[in-house]
Amino acid sequence: MRLFVGLGNPGAKYARNRHNIGFMAVDEIARRHGFAPWRRRFQGETSEGTLDTERVILIKPTTYMNESGRAVQEAASFFKIEPRDVTVFQDELELPPGKVRVKMGGGIAGHNGLRSISAHIGNEYRRVRLGIGHPGVKEFVHAHVLSDFAKADDEWVRTLCDAVAEHAGLLAKGADATFANKVHLAMQAKGFLTKDENGKE
């Protein structure tokens, strides 16, 4: 069994924020693969389904970003899921828009959602880092992540979420590099990434 965690903030006010791309990704996984309707539990919203024969629980914490770990710990404890079987979909400032990296363990790079999760279940979970780009100036970071994607971003955001959902079964099986490469190729095919970039970690 796997636990897939989308990071974001709850409520319509935040729905289109860059910080909420994790929510967007797991929403698309649920939609594309016919997961069960979302229901409220474990301080979040959950949906269950199957990806490539693996049972997967999706969760979107409703605790706000900086308390995400409470929901993750509650769900992981209930289903007896080890940290290595937890995959977190997060926004990543240090990657160009539409670029994806997958990494097991590591630091939190100032991300409040990861900080909370690591505090509750340790560091050895998988991160799917979804690039949103950096505003270029440190002082603008807070406003950048908590502002909505521009209309001009809609196409690449949709393409990225589609590709993540289409290939999510590879993550469920632990084929991280293949997943990252497939998503990269899908983005490249639509002209969102240049050919010298590489989807692998």
Domain ranges of the chain: 2-189
In three-state secondary structure terms, 136 is coil
135, with CB counted inside 10 A (0-12, 13-18, 19+), is middle
The one catalytic residue among 19, 33, 111, 120? 19
Is 60 exceeded by the pLDDT of residue 55?
A: yes
Q: What is the pLDDT of residues 9-21, one digit of tens each?
A: 999 999 999 999 9
Mean predicted confidence (pLDDT) in 133-148: 93
Is 50 exceeded by the pLDDT of residue 198?
A: no
Is 70 exceeded by the pLDDT of residue 192?
A: yes
Q: Contact at 8 Å (CB) between 163 and 187?
A: yes
Backbone angles phi, psi at 34, to 5 degrees: 60, 40
Q: Which helix (H) or strand (E) holds 103?
A: strand 100-104
The pLDDT value given to residue 194: 67
Q: pLDDT band for position 172 (50/70/90)?
A: very high
The pLDDT value given to residue 107: 85
Query: Is 33 in the active site?
Result: no
Of the candidate CATH numbers 3.40.50.740, 1.10.357.10, 3.40.50.1470, 3.40.50.2000, the domain formed by 2-189 belongs to 3.40.50.1470
Mean predicted confidence (pLDDT) in 73-100: 97
Q: pLDDT band for position 195 (50/70/90)?
A: low
The pLDDT value given to residue 108: 87
- CA dist 22 and 25 (Å) reads 5
* DSSP string computed for 45-73: EEEEEEETTEEEEEEEESS-GGGHHHHHH
Mean predicted confidence (pLDDT) in 30-39: 98
Q: Residue 59 forms beta bridges with which residues?
A: 5, 46
- CA dist 82 and 90 (Å) reads 19
* Residue in the block written with tokens 């509750």: 120
- CA dist 4 and 193 (Å) reads 26
Task: Read off the pTM.
Answer: 0.94
Is 80 exceeded by the pLDDT of residue 152?
A: yes
What is the percentage of the chain residues whose pLDDT exceeds 70? 96
Mean predicted confidence (pLDDT) in 79-107: 96
DSSP category for residue 97: T
